[in-house]
Structure 1
Amino acid sequence: MAPVPTLISQATTPKDYRQDGARHIYKHNGHRIHKGQMPPLMHAVGVLQVDLDNLGNVRKINWMRAPSHVPDVMREIERTVLAAAPFPAPVRLGAVTYTDVWLWDKSGHFQLDTLTEGQRLR
């Protein structure tokens, strides 16, 4: 018998699920979230696709746009996603693949585009 998920998402589309995924990552990384608007120049910007099973476990992660100039940031983003599992179970979708943009500053703090507070102009 499969375990019953403790976190449930009622999202009906991958775009809706993106909000649940972003909030979940923020919940697990509150001390690492950049507060306020991001600086004008980012240390890294990456687009990551996360594939979850029906229980919210990460099946696969796939870089759509990798910040390959900073491989340490890529590894840290991947580690952050894997450490946050299980994500809210996409019960209405069965499984889900969602995409978000990671905005990373030089201090190692980040925002996700879904929940960003914007970016300062110079």
Structure 2
Amino acid sequence: MKKLSLRGAGWLVAGGTAALLAACTSTPLPPPEPEPPVVVIPPPAEPPPVVEPAPRAVSSASTPRAYRRDAAGHLYTLHRDRIYKGRMPPLLYAIGVIQVEVDGKGEVRDVSWMRAPRHAPEVIAEIERMVRAAAPYPVPARMGKVVYTDTWLWHKSGRFQLDTLTEGQD
């Protein structure tokens, strides 16, 4: 067996150290993959409560003229912020006479003008919109269906009165 000299032993130690260091210093590891985002799935929503439709108003009117009061009251209730309060001034912006056909369920089937305020097409459109939007009307139980006529008195402010429920005119 050969004896190692100090010089040979030094090289051996240096080589072993170098090998050890080389083994410890490898190529850097790739960065860890990001964790997938946490998705929170909300619990199933409770179904909305069942809302029973409001019972429809029923009119006991036996004539179109009598039904007109029920329809006017219905329109006034829905458009209370648009009603002209008090007596109307002598000069109105528009006056229109309209016929409304209401079926046995209170739905509007037809709107026709007997006297349209042609100088104010915006009033014609607004009255028709309001009449249709007010459905369902009181059900004309005794007549099955009804065609009633009413006169709209229109102020320049956009407020109105129906002739059936008017407070008069100065």
Which interval holds the TM-score relative to the shorter structure?
over 0.9
- 1:26 aligns with 76
- 2:16 aligns with none
Determine helix, strand or coil for the equivalent of 1:107: coil
Q: Distance in 1 between matches of 2:54 and 2:87?
A: 38
Give every structure 1 segment of 4 or more consecutive aligned residues whose post-TM-superposition deviation is greater than 3 Å: none
> How far apart are 1:5 and its partner, in Å?
5.7
Q: Distance in 1 between matches of 2:148 and 2:139?
A: 13
Q: Are 2:61 and 1:7 equivalent residues in the alignment? A: no
1:94-109 to 2 correspondences below 5 Å: 94-109=144-159
Q: Distance in 1 between matches of 2:71 and 2:162?
A: 10
Structure 2 portions without partners, runs of 5+: 1-52
Q: Is the 8 A contact 1:49 1:63 kept in 2?
A: yes
Structure 1 portions without partners, runs of 5+: none
Residue identity matched to 2:141: V
Query: Among 27, 41, 52, which residue is 2:102 paired with?
Result: 52
Q: Distance in 1 between matches of 2:56 and 2:80?
A: 20
More relative contact order, 1 or 2 (CA 8 Å, 6+ apart): 1
Residue identity matched to 1:74: I
1:43-82 to 2 correspondences below 5 Å: 43-82=93-132
Task: Among all aligned residue pairs of Structure 1 and Structure 2, give the percentage whose two residues are the same amino acid.
Answer: 59
Determine helix, strand or coil for the equivalent of 1:99: strand
> How far apart are 1:7 and its partner, in Å?
1.0
1:97-121 C-alpha deviation (Å, 9 max, x unpaired): 000000000000000000000001x
> How far apart are 1:4 and its partner, in Å?
9.5
Residue identity matched to 2:71: G
| Cα distance change on mapping 1:110 and 1:4 into 2, 3 Å | closer
Larger-gyration structure (1/2): 2
1:33-68 C-alpha deviation (Å, 9 max, x unpaired): 000000110000000000010011000000000001
- Structure-1-length-normalised TM-score: 0.94
Q: Is the 8 A contact 1:44 1:105 kept in 2?
A: yes
Q: Distance in 2 between matches of 1:103 and 1:56?
A: 24
Determine helix, strand or coil for the equivalent of 1:61: strand
Determine helix, strand or coil for the equivalent of 1:25: helix
